[in-house]
Amino acid sequence: MLGLTMTHGFDMYRVFLSAPGDLGPERRACHEVIARANETTAMPAKVLLVAVELREDEHIVGYRSIVSDNVRWSAFFIQVFADDWGPKNLFRKLFHLAVECRDSVSMPMREVVVCLKDAPHETDPEILAFRQELQDYQGVRLFHYANLDELSTQLLEIATGWAQKIVQENQAAKTATG
pLDDT in tens, 142-167: 999 999 999 999 999 999 999 999 99
Q: What DSSP letter does each residue of 41-78 carry, written as one string?
A: IIGGGTEEEEEEE-SSTHHHHHTHHHHHHHHHT-SEEE
Whole-prediction pTM value? 0.90
pLDDT in tens, 68-88: 899 999 999 999 988 888 777
Domains defined along the chain, listed by start: 7-170 (3.40.50.2300)
Q: Where on the phi/psi map is residue 92: left (φ > 0), alpha (ψ -120 to 50), or beta?
A: alpha
Give CA–CA dist 128/126, Å, rounded.
Answer: 5
| Strand residue runs (E) in the chain | 4-5, 11-18, 47-53, 76-81, 111-117, 141-145
Give CA–CA dist 21/150, Å, rounded.
Answer: 20
